A and B are shown apart, each in its own frame.
Chain A
Amino acid sequence: MRPELHHDALFYGSAGDFVDSLLPFVRDGLERDEHVMVVTSPNNLGIIGDALGTDTEYATAHSAEWYSKPAQTIDRYRRVMEHALSSGKPGLRIVGEVDFGTTDIEHAEWKRYESVLNVAFGGQPAWVVCPYNTRNLAPELVESASRSHPSAFHGKEHSKSHHFVEPANMVGPLPLPTGGQLLGELEVGESLQPVREFVTRTSQQAGLSKPSTEDMCLVVNEIATNGMRHGLPPVKLQAWLDDENLVYDVSDFGPGPQNPFAGFIPPKVSEGDGMGLWLSRLLADRLEITSGDEGTSIRASMSTSSG
């Protein structure tokens, strides 16, 4: 029994390394009747599957699908953990090979995700090993793993990482698309109805699908609610459109959320607080919070070609 989260990086250079390190990890977990899940490439899944044989039961997923959006991935792991523990499993073992995407922003999003994971699942009886392919991944991604993982895994054993950086210092805001065309702006008043009308109109104008329009309506409604409740007025809403994204910016003169993990950690419905930002991160393609002397700006974006 491990009472706390273990989050290890595994550096591997070949399929042989991958199997040699992870096969004992998976087998050991199965022997302990823990819930085992392996998320990696179809190729690696095949290799592991061949080595384990057909009569073993463990969950699998493809990295490219599982690592769709950081908040969504956190939500998926949360559900897996809740389900496993409520069905009596003593703990979980997860092999999670992150798909870092191709763009700089995607790289930055997933590096941040690796840091957030330490906090999102701190205290869970789970051992998560994240394999990093040192031959395929950009050196800066491999190097970041030592900062986002408290320890490194070497097959059966793990050792403390001396480069680990406190997650709170790793989760700052990333750049969001700016500029393009200003579709409109609105000062948020007492009623949120005009906010929803504004979002519906501008989303339709930008060519968003009906589900995406509804999602953005929920997102901006939640962010504007937070601005009204916790920010310093005036709360201003702007809609920007460039070639790829529709961006909503809600700004006020307050200091913004004090918790650096705001919206990254799934809250309980019964508690209520923190729900708005969590939902917003799940529903929007991207969400960034920037705070400074001039106040706070929260931006949510949605691709104009999505869904």
Chain B
Amino acid sequence: MRSTGLTTDLRQLGESDHCCWAFKDEDEFSSRAISFLRIGIERGLQGVYVSDNPTEIAEAHLRRDEAASRLLDQGALSVWSVTDTYANGTPEPDDQVDFYARATAKSLSVGYSGLRIAADATALITTPERAAAFARYEHLVDRFMTTSPFSAMCGYRSDSEANEEAVTQIAALHPVAIGAAPPLRLYAMEEGAFGLEGEIDFWSAGLLESTLRRADPAEQQKQVVLDLSGIEFMDHHGVKALVDYADSRGAQFLMTKPPSHVSRLIDILGVRNLTVAVS
């Protein structure tokens, strides 16, 4: 089982977990990123720190930490730059997933039990177009993780109102949030299912709409299994966002484990493209 929801304990994150951190302070990010990587390396994973800075500068910075310095010497920890890793900052979503799939296979082939990265990806969402493409990648890589020993901590600096919105959009595509959680999270699960968590009301229904469009869960299947066990609250605005998306794709949602108030709401609204699975 992959972790979901808000977490503060990095030790709870396993070899396929995908977390987002909207950080304010760069030093705080790098120190927790190193903890995240070190925990993974202790468990047999290979660790990569993907930095916004040139690799030499990033490595020098990391070496101020004694444990990190040792891991760098051993080769279990590497430093890559965002530019090299993400196709000069404008990666094709599918290609980027392939890149990490190959890197994971390589880690496995040299004896590690998987690959773990911690990336400061702030530079990859600086324009709305870049942010949209990268959001799509974040979801595709989330699907990849459900079946692969690949885990990631994706950091985004969130220090202005304009940028906060973009970061929330991205954070909503991660199953795990560190620090502040977005109002909702849509993520991939095993066997092609999806999970939806959080609180969906008038204010967050717009985020659900855009998140559904970006993740596009109906792209490969017209019957989409949606696990609602992590829904804390959903009103009719949330139901409408799901219905509108399903209508636009000619798809159906089969909802599993909905909270009782959501079952009642769906029953009352009598919407034809949302069905509650009989458990």
Chain A interface residues (CB < 8 Å from chain B): 75, 79, 190-193, 196, 210-211, 214-215, 217-218, 221-222, 225, 228-229, 269-270, 272, 275-276, 279, 282-283
Contact = CB atoms under 8 A, between A and B. Distances in A.
A191 B268 contact: no
Contacts of A270: 240, 243-244, 247
B70 interface: no
A282 B239 CA distance: 17
Given A269-B243, A270-B247, A193 B268 contact: no
Contact of B261 (A192, A218, A272): A218
Nearest to B274: A269
Contacts of A228: 202
Contacts of B244: 270
B52 interface: no
A279 B240 CA distance: 13
B59 interface: no
Interface residues on B, range: 20 to 34
A251 to B, nearest CB: 19
Nearest to A282: B268
Contacts of B247: 270
Given A211-B260, A270-B244, A276-B236, A218 B265 contact: yes
Given A75-B268, A192-B203, A269 B261 contact: no
Given A79-B270, A221-B233, A270-B243, 12 more contacts: A191-B203, A211-B264, A214-B261, A215-B261, A221-B201, A225-B235, A229-B202, A269-B269, A269-B271, A270-B244, A279-B265, A279-B269
Which of B203, B236, B260 has the most chain A CB within a 10 Å cutoff? B236
Given A214-B260, A225-B201, A270-B244, A279 B236 contact: yes
Contacts, number: 57
B233 A196 contact: yes
Interface string B238-279: 011001100100000000000011001100111100000000
A269 B268 contact: no
Contacts of A279: 236, 265, 268-269
B216 interface: no
A95 to B, nearest CB: 25
A283 B264 CA distance: 10
Interface string B197-226: 001011100000000000000000000000
A218 B240 CA distance: 15
B243 A222 contact: no
A79 B272 CA distance: 13
Contact of A225 (B202, B233, B269): B202
Given A221-B235, A269-B236, A276-B236, A192 B271 contact: no
Given A196-B233, A225-B202, A215 B264 contact: yes
26 contacts: A191-B203, A192-B202, A192-B203, A193-B199, A210-B260, A215-B261, A217-B233, A221-B201, A225-B201, A225-B202, A225-B235, A229-B202, A269-B236, A269-B239, A269-B240, A269-B243, A270-B243, A270-B244, A275-B269, A276-B235, A279-B236, A279-B265, A279-B268, A279-B269, A282-B268, A283-B268
Contacts of A193: 199
B201 A192 contact: yes
B240 to A, nearest CB: 6
Interface in B169-208: 199, 201-203
A190 B183 CA distance: 14
A272 B240 contact: yes
A217 B235 CA distance: 10
A214 B264 CA distance: 10
B61 to A, nearest CB: 38
A190 B247 CA distance: 30
Contacts of B270: 79
A283 B72 CA distance: 61
Contacts of A191: 203
A89 B244 CA distance: 29
A275 to B, nearest CB: 5
Nearest to A275: B236
Contacts of A210: 260
B184 to A, nearest CB: 13
Contacts of B199: 193
Contacts of B261: 214-215, 217-218
A218 B247 CA distance: 25
A279 B201 CA distance: 14
A51 B7 CA distance: 69
A75 B240 CA distance: 19
B239 to A, nearest CB: 7
